[in-house]
């Protein structure tokens, strides 16, 4: 896929400025780790790593989820710390691996981005700003808030994400605008709440992310949505997603159902 030049959104520039000013106002620079789960992303992962704003993010961890291509090599050459899982365990397990690394090495904030470039890392300051200011514990990106946008998003995904968000809000009891966004920043201290238990086998694939957002909201942690761009990558002129119909849709929905009906915690 050929690289293309993106226009710089003035909102992104403002977000960068605000995040840096917030850091300057704090007594100590928060340690920020960016985790990118990646499975057979090839050279795309290098572009993601290079786009992360390094003056705000101390370390980029790419969790290679059992790729059969050269994803890990591209990530390392671009400057990332690579964790190789050895087998394809799922995006949830990969994100959890990055969070484990952050906890073990004393980071304060974890930012989750897509290894395929769907969540442009240039927008990370937008997510960091409210956490650095001390206002929230989890900052969730939303393509549907004013100032957010989506690019090359297939119609079925637009309909699916809208419908999913309605169901998520209903079961959770908290209105959100984009429950399926994978672009977020999390204060590591959130995991001091042992009621939020990411370390469960049933959360290995698409279940972990909605589980985290649902429980953070239900347990009254400070959560905010911020406008971001979600950009579906293009292969042979067609926008694509690795999420499979039916089976993976069930995986992303079942945490909402299980938690909403109090079948799991």
User: At residue 129, does pLDDT exceed 60?
Assistant: yes
- The closest of 264, 173, 133 to 211, measured between CA atoms, is 264
- Measured between alpha carbons, how far is 183 from 63 in angstroms, rounded to an integer? 16
Summarize pLDDT for 84-122 with one digit per residue, the tens.
998 999 999 999 999 999 999 999 999 999 999 999 999
Handedness of CA 93, 39, 241, 101 (dihedral sign): positive
- Measured between alpha carbons, how far is 104 from 43 in angstroms, rounded to an integer? 29
Summarize pLDDT for 25-68 with one digit per residue, the tens.
444 689 999 999 999 999 999 999 999 999 999 999 999 999 99
- Class of domain 10-260 (CATH, top level): alpha beta
**Domain ranges, ordered by start, for the chain:** 10-260
């Amino acid at each position: 896929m050929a690289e293309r030049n993106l226009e710089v959104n003035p909102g992104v520039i403002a977000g960068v400025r605000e995040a840096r000013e917030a850091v300057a106002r704090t007594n100590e620079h928060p340690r920020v780790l960016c985790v990118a789960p990646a499975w057979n992303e090839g050279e795309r992962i290098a572009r993601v790593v290079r786009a992360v704003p390094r003056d705000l993010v101390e370390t980029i961890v790419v969790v290679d989820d059992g790729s059969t291509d050269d994803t890990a090599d591209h990530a390392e050459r671009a400057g990332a710390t690579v964790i190789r899982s050895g087998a394809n365990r799922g995006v949830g397990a990969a994100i959890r691996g990055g969070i484990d690394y952050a906890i073990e090495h004393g980071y304060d904030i974890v930012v989750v981005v897509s290894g395929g470039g769907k969540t442009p890392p240039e927008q990370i300051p937008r997510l960091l700003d409210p956490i650095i200011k001390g206002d929230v514990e989890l900052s969730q990106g939303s393509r549907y808030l004013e100032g957010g946008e989506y690019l090359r998003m297939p119609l079925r995904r637009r309909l699916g994400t809208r419908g999913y968000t309605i169901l998520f809000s209903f079961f959770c009891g908290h209105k959100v605008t984009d429950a399926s966004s994978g672009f977020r920043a999390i204060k590591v201290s959130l995991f001091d709440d042992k009621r939020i238990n990411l370390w469960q086998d049933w959360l290995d694939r698409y279940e972990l992310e909605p589980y985290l957002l649902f429980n953070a909201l239900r347990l009254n942690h400070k959560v905010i949505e911020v406008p971001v761009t979600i950009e579906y990558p293009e292969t042979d002129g067609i926008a694509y997603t690795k999420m499979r119909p039916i089976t993976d849709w069930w995986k992303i929905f079942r945490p909402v159902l299980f938690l909403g009906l109090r079948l799991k915690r």
